[in-house]
Amino acid sequence: MEYKVGIGYDIHRLVAGRKLFLGGVEIPYPKGLLGHSDGDALMHALCDALLGALALGDIGEHFPDTDPQYKGAAGSRLLKQVKAMVDKSGYTINNVDIVIIAQEPGLTPFKQQMKENICGLLDITRERANIKAKTNEGLDAAGNKEAIATYALVSLVKGG
Ligand SMILES: [Zn+2]
Beta-carbon count within 10 A of 39 CB: 24
pLDDT for the residue numbered 92: 98
Q: Which CATH architecture has domain 3-158?
A: 2-Layer Sandwich (3.30)
**Rounded distance, CA 92 to CA 98, Å?**
18
Mean pLDDT of 101-121: 98
Residue 11 CA to ligand 1 centre (angstroms): 6
- Place 132 in a pLDDT band, splitting at 50, 70 and 90: very high
> How far apart are the CA of 124 and the centre of ligand 1, in A?
23
3 state DSSP class of 134? strand
CA angle 159, 62, 100 (to 5 degrees): 80
pLDDT band at 113 (very low <50, low <70, confident <90, very high): very high
Distance of CA 35 from the midpoint of ligand 1 (Å): 7
pLDDT of amino acid 1: 83
Centre of ligand 1 from the C-alpha of residue 12, in Å: 6
- pTM attached to this predicted model: 0.97
pLDDT digits (tens, 9 = 90+) for 20-40: 999 999 999 999 999 999 999
